Structure 1
Amino acid sequence: MHKTNEEAKLFVNRLINDLAGKRFKIVVCPPFVSLTDVVEITRGTNISIGAQNCHFERSGAFTGEVSAAMLKAIGIEYVIVGHSERRKYFNETDEMINRKVKSVLSEGMKPILCVGETKEEREKGLTFCVVEMQIRHALYGLSRQEVENIVIAYEPVWAIGTGVVAKPEQAQEVHRFIRKLLSELYDTKLAESIPILYGGSIKPDNFFAIMAQPDVDGGLVGGASLDEQFVKLAQIVQSFAV
């Protein structure tokens, strides 16, 4: 919940210039009120636009909510689903997240599925159990063809907005676990093709070491996406692009 519509337009115009020619996928997810203008500004550029959330129903008496169909109609390509803040502050359950994933896919968009454990869960040694259950629930009832269009983001809750970042080896072990789980649920080829992002207090001074891990494909950037740090992070990703 940052930036007015005018601030968002100014910022994205700067990003278009600073990120031109980058050889990797760049997705910006502004608040709902800025989506229409930002989609128009970025049309024909290398920046795709995503939404931060959606409702799981296509329409109905859900005052204040926005459906996947509405987002698709204005040109949105990605939707963040199951972010830890949605789980925590708005009590989103695994069942709701599964329905949102299906709704996003049904409209031809790509869900960015967020999973991750709390500090208490990590301290109790439950990291893999929590992540596995979140993924199994989120992907329940989905075909291999549908899962091909999903992006997964591992965001340890204890590292979001805290200034604490997972060590590169901590990020890698969970990303490797997620890829192994996808291989078991579907197959190895699919598991290797799914982008798995890391999110959690990413900054230019810690991101290179995380990106260097073999199973980290990119970042889900929070606070550092609001200023020039985002461009610096993009430059780091560019150094790994092939």
Structure 2
Amino acid sequence: MRKHIVAANWKMNKTFQEGMALIEDVYKTLDGYKPNCEVLICPPSYFLGAIDKKYCDKLTFGAQDCSEHTSGAYTGEISAPMIASTVAKAVIIGHSERRAYHNEGSEMLAKKVDQALEAGLRPVFCVGEKLDQREDGTYMEVVAKQVKDALFHLSDKDFAKIILAYEPVWAIGTGKTASADQAQEMHANIRKVVAEKYGQEIADNCTILYGGSCKGENAPELFAKPDVDGGLIGGASLEASKFLPIIKAFDK
């Protein structure tokens, strides 16, 4: 059975003091409550080496990106082995902001996925279409190609470790959200594409998250869809009081 996951992508937010306080706040909000999902927190990487392991009994931690290189003269880069030497168990790869602002394409992203897997990290691999691709009707093909080009070199065993995250670019940070039916349509198609390559069992066990202005108000409807296994949450993850209702959406 595939995992339900609610993941927080803090992006470039929070000072060290603010971030450590937020981790404590999220941890405390889960006191006496057992979520029906894994709670994954992905802060800026400089937090990861300072996070107390006591938090790991309720929370899983991850990074927001990793280098496609293992080590070397790559100033400013952070490698997957560096991330794996902390409490982190996962890493976001291929977020639309990395694709747009850092020109990350499928060839580079495939290398990052390989680095993450080699280091023992679970890649949270992001895919999604732009507004013009949604409007011209090519969105299914666009997302399928993103999955195939960066991931279909993997063995069955390695692909089974991938977490997918569908984020319609037009809904990230805009306040717009794909309807639950739109999300379900895309998630079902992604699962179909995976099944065609890796078989139905691996596809059925693949966790596919929805991202894109997901919040407490719309999470229950989104998560009720059969192929939506949780969320990759941006802005609503920056306050524990806004994040908790999304986690609790799996109680409904």
Q: TM-score per shorter chain, which class?
A: over 0.9
Residues 38 and 49 of structure 1 are in contact (CA less than 8 Å); yes or no, is this contact kept in structure 2?
no
Unaligned runs of at least 5 residues, structure 1: none
Q: Find the aligned partners of 1:145 and 1:208 in 2 and give their Cα distance.
A: 32
**Which residue in 1 is equivalent to 2:3?**
none
**1:65 matched to 2:77:** yes
In structure 2, the residue matched to 1:48 is 60
Given that residues 39 and 49 in structure 1 are in contact (C-alpha distance below 8 angstroms), is that contact kept between their aligned partners in structure 2? no
Higher RCO, 1 or 2 (CA under 8 Å, sep at least 6)? 2
What CA distance in whole angstroms lies between the structure 2 residues aligned with 1:187 and 1:150? 15
Cα offset for 1:37? 1.8
Q: Within the alignment, does 1:234 sit opposite 2:221 as a pair? A: no
Could you list the structure 1 runs, at least 4 aligned residues long, displaced by more than 3 angstroms after superposition: none
Cα deviation 1:69-127 (Å, max 9, x = unaligned): 10011131000000000000111011111111111001111000000000011111111
Aligned with 2:138 (options 126, 136, 148): 126
In structure 2, the gaps of 5 or more residues are: 1-11
What is the TM-score when the length of structure 1 is the normalising length?
0.96
Secondary structure of residue in 2 paired with 1:204: coil
Per the alignment, residue 206 of structure 1 pairs with: 218
- 2:97 aligns with 85
| Aligned equivalent of 2:121, options 100, 109, 112 | 109
8 Å CA contact retained: 2:61, 2:90 = yes
1:137 partner SS: helix
Aligned residues of 1:4 and 1:34 also touching (Cα < 8 A): no
1:26 maps to 2:51: no
| C-alpha distance in structure 2 between counterparts of 1:215 and 1:35, whole Å | 31
* Aligned pair partner of 1:12 in 11, 20, 23: 23
Relative to structure 1, is the Cα distance of residues 142 and 91 closer, same or farther in structure 2, using a 3 angstrom cutoff? same
Q: What is the aligned length? A: 238
Residue 5 of structure 2 corresponds to which residue in structure 1? none
**Secondary structure of 1:220's match?**
strand
Q: Displacement, 1:237?
A: 2.2
Q: Is the 8 A contact 1:198 1:218 kept in 2?
A: yes
Please give the TM-score of this superposition, normalised by the length of structure 2: 0.92
2:189, 2:158 → 1: CA distance?
21
CA RMSD of aligned residues (A): 1.1
Task: Report the 3-state secondary structure (helix = DSSP H, G, I; strand = E; otherwise coil) of the residue aligned with 1:164.
Answer: coil
